[in-house]
Amino acid sequence: MEYTIKKIAQLSGVSARTLRYYDEIDLLKPSRVNSSNYRIYGQKEVDRLQQILFYRELDMKLEEIKEILDNPDFNVEQALRSHQKQLLERRNEIDRLLTTVQQTMKHYKGERIMSDKEKFEAFKQQKVAENESQYGTEIREKYGEKTVEASNDKYLNLTEQEMAEMQATEQQLFEKIDVYLQDPNLESDVAKEIYELHKKWLSYTWPTYSPEAHKGLGLMYVGDERFTAYYDEKYTGAAQALNDAIQYYA
């Protein structure tokens, strides 16, 4: 079965303009161009487009999708299992949020009493699920199953006040990093404050503190682009500055 760009656009719901863009960036090339200069797509392209849409639903960037699909070791069956796992996790997140909404509605109607802890439990579970999806494999390999589970449990049991304190600590951390980047000096008070604030921030989730583990985490911040992006989205060079402070003072 073959499709023109108009037909495959109707079939998939992806606009012809987007399909042309996918062609331009070599994400989805047509199987051929006919004598009338129309792009023609075959079964292989249909299947690849389906995979692209799966990955897009998981908020993956186009360049990342291209890298995955172009990998000679790409396996459709393994990809589908991964899609299924991540979509099930997303469905569980939505179910938890819906439950919280329903319980909150009953609380305001006077049909049940909802504790303050219950009001925020779903949001914390969602955060844990997001972290697991993004970094779960890496942190388990580095710190072990028991340590990660203990950390998740500690986070889920934080009080509303502790959550607010944790968020405030992270905000202070970013503010200090911004100041440090204007005049980098590891022997400065600001550099030490960065280390202390990050150590304090970790205390809300880490069962026990270890300088070695702290240094290892700092190296992950600069060695893994996903961790680097989290900090550098705030201030360029933030991840490196944070790691430098950790390595110097931990």
Specify the pTM. 0.51
Q: Report how far apart the first and last C-alpha atoms of the chain are (Å, whole number).
A: 62
Residues ≥6 apart with Cβ < 8 Å to 80 = 54
How would residue 98 be classed by pLDDT, with cut points 50, 70 and 90? confident
Domain 3-70 shares a fold with domain 158-249: no
Which fold does the domain 3-70 belong to in CATH? Multidrug-efflux Transporter Regulator; Chain: A; Domain 2 (1.10.1660)
Give the DSSP per-residue string, 216-250.
HHHHHHHHSHHHHHHHHTTSTTHHHHHHHHHHHH-
User: Per-domain residue ranges for the chain?
Assistant: 3-70, 76-155, 158-249
State yes or no: pLDDT of 94 exceeds 90.
Answer: no
pLDDT of residue 105: 85
State yes or no: pLDDT of 165 exceeds 70.
Answer: yes
Angle at 239 between CA 233 and CA 243, to 5 degrees: 170
pLDDT of residue 210: 92
Angle between helical axes of 160-182 and 238-249 (0-180°, round to 10)? 100
Percent of the chain with pLDDT over 70: 96
For 48-83, what is each residue's pLDDT tens digit? 999 999 999 888 889 989 999 999 999 988 888 888
State yes or no: pLDDT of 212 exceeds 70.
Answer: yes
How would residue 29 be classed by pLDDT, with cut points 50, 70 and 90? very high
Secondary-structure percent of the chain, ordered helix, strand, coil, rounded to 5: 75, 5, 25
DSSP 183: S
> Could you tell me which CATH class the domain 158-249 is placed in?
mainly alpha
